[in-house]
Structure 1
Amino acid sequence: MNLPLCRSQQKGYKPAFNYQRQLHQVVLSHIAANLQELDVFSNAADTPVEAQPHILNWANVLDPDLPERISSVKEIQRDYLARKPNYTERERNNRSLGERGEQFVLDFERFRLEQAGRPDLAQDVKWVSKEKGDGAGFDIQSFTVESEEELFIEVKTTNCGKYQPFYITDNELAYSLQWNQQYCLYRVYDFKNEARLFRLQGAVEQYVHLQAKNYKASFN
């Protein structure tokens, strides 16, 4: 039977996949060229929340789609503008948001292991950064379900979206490389509204572009 094409199949109504792909690349290129503009939102990204976000379903927290690593990054044009940031308030906000994000991941890991039928492992998940302090190279010590190996989790939390840049220390980077088979960075985003997270398994440098913000200066 020679049936007429529906409107979506006729010329002029077909999905313009080439334009969609181009638009996708244009958006990513704009992000790469204007990373410095994202710093303007750093205060909003670091603002602490009064209470942990309400989670309707823990099963929907994990975002399987990782941010796409932009292939080329335009060199940032420095503005050299004088500012008077409130470092005390920013540090307090960062610490508060960071702790709430780590608590969020701690609860998520216990849920994940319990759902996998391993409540014994769930009860052994440890909040290392709170119990022992910073400097271990990770925040949460959890487990893999299959092999029961230790899983070392670093948590980075923001109130902004999944493409918001984050800061990571040299110690954390080194740990992710040395323990890449057991290391995972959990990026918690949109924490203030409806928190979700994605996971970067292994060495962090394979997923992101790294830009030095501070240097250690010495005479030897």
Structure 2
Amino acid sequence: MEPALTEPMVKVIARPILEKYGSLRTSEVKRHFTEFYTPTDLDMIEKKRDEPKYLQIIGNVVSHQKQRGNLIEAYNNSFEVVLDPESTAPDSAIWRLLVSDGTQLEVISEQEVDDRQSGATKRRPRIHRVIKTDWNAVNQQRTAIGAAGEEYVYGLELDHIATNTPYDLERVQHTSRFTGDGTGYDILSYTEDGRTAYIEVKTTTQGPDTPFYITPREYAFLNDHYGSDDTWLIRVSNFQTGPNGYYGDIKQFSAADVIDGFDFETTQYRATRRHD
């Protein structure tokens, strides 16, 4: 049986939600959560407050902070939760993204929140719903080579950040470890001026022109960020494991490079029985 959501997982998955929307109340975090996470059978068990268990776990982040007596608390150097002292609801709070200019963290501005939420409303990629691949599918489809390639690029990205913007080092996140392809990218990192960067990794032991598979969500994310300079596909070719770690050739493509420079072929369909 697939594992249930935990509080540490909530704190990881909340990050891409707030990257998209900027600032949300707990009720809004709960509403948007399934854009980045597909509840398991264990998550859907109702325990109290007529809520599925996974929604209660989200609320527990707030209620446990309240028990610690912290009006404001930051999580993973990525976002902060601000309690509402006037409310009697156990999970009443505002979740706010923390942003960086490469030297210090600060709370996202109201204007930036408006811009992100307006953009989230206006953008209409071809496939716009974020779908988290279930763990069985992840285990079947994500090969050991693909996982190792992600680790390789993640390590390179940590080295790059440590050299150029060490302040952001602890904020770099290997997101796909927790969400599969649910976010449409594998690694969340930062540019040298503190802006968020999104990295998708595709790895092969063969040459750089070897075709690769891309999920509907990954394609949608690239399409959604077409023309931006914050989204990259890293192609790792001739990948191998050596005595001192991983080795491979790296080529970087922007979202526009991928959308315009590759042909996409439908290789399989999912069939659902009709009930007319």
Partner residue, 1:99? 147
Give the 3-state SS of the residue equivalent to 1:192 in structure 2. Answer: strand
Is 1:120 matched up with 2:173? Answer: no
State the structure with more CA Rg: 1
How much does 1:185 deviate?
0.6
Contact 2:181 2:217 in 1 (8 A): no
Q: Could you report, residue by residue, the CA deviation over 1:69-113 in whole angstroms, capped at 9, with x for unpaired residues? A: xxxxxxxxxxxxxxxxxxx9xx66842111111111111111122
Partners in 2 of 1:173 and 1:92 — Cα distance? 20
- Which amino acid in structure 1 is aligned with residue 222 of structure 2? S
Contact 2:181 2:218 in 1 (8 A): no
Q: Could you report, residue by residue, the CA deviation over 1:130-187 in whole angstroms, capped at 9, with x for unpaired residues? A: 13433111110011113x1111111111111111110001111011111232211111
Q: Could you report, residue by residue, the CA deviation over 1:199-218 in whole angstroms, capped at 9, with x for unpaired residues? A: 11124221211111112345
Q: Could you report, residue by residue, the CA deviation over 1:32-75 in whole angstroms, capped at 9, with x for unpaired residues? A: xxxxxxxxxxxxxxxxxxxxxxxxxxxxxxxxxxxxxxxxxxxx
Contact 2:181 2:215 in 1 (8 A): no
How much does 1:128 deviate?
0.3
- Which amino acid in structure 2 is aligned with residue 141 of structure 1? L
Contact 1:143 1:150 in 2 (8 A): yes
Partner residue, 1:200? 253
* Same amino acid, percent of matched pairs: 29
Q: Which has the higher contact order (CA 8 A, sep 6+)?
A: 1
Query: Which stretches in structure 2 are left out of the alignment for 5+ residues?
Result: 1-135, 242-246
Contact 2:236 2:249 in 1 (8 A): yes
Is 1:189 matched up with 2:242? Answer: no
Contact 1:200 1:207 in 2 (8 A): no
Contact 2:234 2:253 in 1 (8 A): yes
Query: Which stretches in structure 1 are left out of the alignment for 5+ residues?
Result: 1-87
TM-score by length of 2: 0.43
Give the 3-state SS of the residue equivalent to 1:185 in structure 2. Answer: strand
- Which amino acid in structure 1 is aligned with residue 259 of structure 2? E
Q: Alpha carbons of 1:162 and 1:137: their partners in 2 closer, same or farther (altered >3 Å)?
A: same
Partner residue, 1:210? 264
Partners in 2 of 1:112 and 1:196 — Cα distance? 16
Q: How does 1:15-26 map to 2 (within 5 A)?
A: none
TM-score by length of 1: 0.53
Q: Alpha carbons of 1:207 and 1:102: their partners in 2 closer, same or farther (altered >3 Å)?
A: same
How much does 1:192 deviate?
1.1
Give the 3-state SS of the residue equivalent to 1:127 in structure 2. Answer: coil
Out of 172, 187, 201, the residue aligned to residue 218 of structure 2 is 172
Is 1:158 matched up with 2:204? Answer: yes
Q: What is the alpha-carbon root mean square deviation over aligned residues?
A: 2.3
Number of paired residues?
Answer: 129
